[in-house]
Amino acid sequence: MNLDSGLIMQWIGEYVWALARISGLMLSIAVYSGKTVPTRVRMLFSVAITFVVVPVLPPVTGIELFSLEAALVIAQQILIGAAAGFCTSLLLQTFVVAGQVIAMQTSLGFASMVDPINGQNTPVVGQIYLLLATLLFLAVDGHGQLITLVVMSFETIPVGLTGLSVVSYQSLAAWFSQIFFAALTMSISPIVAMLLVNFSFGVMTRAAPQLNIFSIGFAVGMLFGLLILWLTIGGFMVHFNTQWENSRQLACQILEVGC
């Protein structure tokens, strides 16, 4: 059996193009893109997924493997995968922002710890919300759904020099405003509740000026903060479902795939 060198290069190229797009996804997808996941493990995941999906992908022709055009194609594939995975990273950051806002308003912002994903100090409330959102993301098979969308994108966005459209980049940039909007929506109830608590402290200060409001207000504010967190945690799933659906729709829009 004689194999043409051009055919062999085409076969290798099909794996290289798919690996580039899937590696871009693993570079920015939630959970797997964190510092706690070693780079070698992410690369093994990318290679394993590539070998599974390449046989069902449409063939790619007309691109020489060792050329400037091939380098540009690889860059385009990495951008496509990274843009899709970035949607889920922004999803989790929504709850980090909401937790930070709530922590600052409830006097719980002094308790902070190192975020294992970002490597920065964040309030413990933000870490709790991040862990809950991460567990829910894995529970709804968010990573599996996103991998499926990226595999489907090989049909809608074929491998080539043409990558994402300008509208896709604009939609991804506009998603940053959605983060703060969703975080404010989630934290508005604790903010209003703590506003009433602080207002009552002000009334107490005017009624009894001899009370040292700074010594008792901090401790009472923390207790009320914990109580407010306990009362408002029940709506966490509703906010997550809304944000996950919005981020999934954004990924579908970027990849031009019907959800």
First to last CA, the chain: 44
Mean pLDDT over 196-202 rounds to: 77
122 and 100 Cβ atoms separated by less than 8 Å: yes
Alpha helices in the chain (DSSP H): 5-28, 39-53, 68-105, 124-139, 142-156, 166-207, 213-232, 236-255
pLDDT (tens digit per residue) in 64-105 = 777 788 888 888 888 888 888 888 888 888 888 888 888 877
User: What is the chain's mean pLDDT, rounded?
Assistant: 80
Residue 112 β-bridge partners: 123
Q: How far apart are CA 1 and CA 126, in angstroms?
A: 61
Q: How far apart are CA 50 and CA 122, in angstroms?
A: 36
Q: For the chain, what's the residue count? A: 259
Q: Give the DSSP H or E segment for 123.
A: strand 121-123
134: three-class secondary structure by DSSP: helix
Q: How far apart are CA 177 and CA 170, in angstroms?
A: 12
Specify the DSSP class assigned to residue 234.
G
Pairing of strands 121-123, 112-114: antiparallel
pLDDT (tens digit per residue) in 132-163 = 888 889 888 888 888 888 888 888 888 877 77
113: three-class secondary structure by DSSP: strand
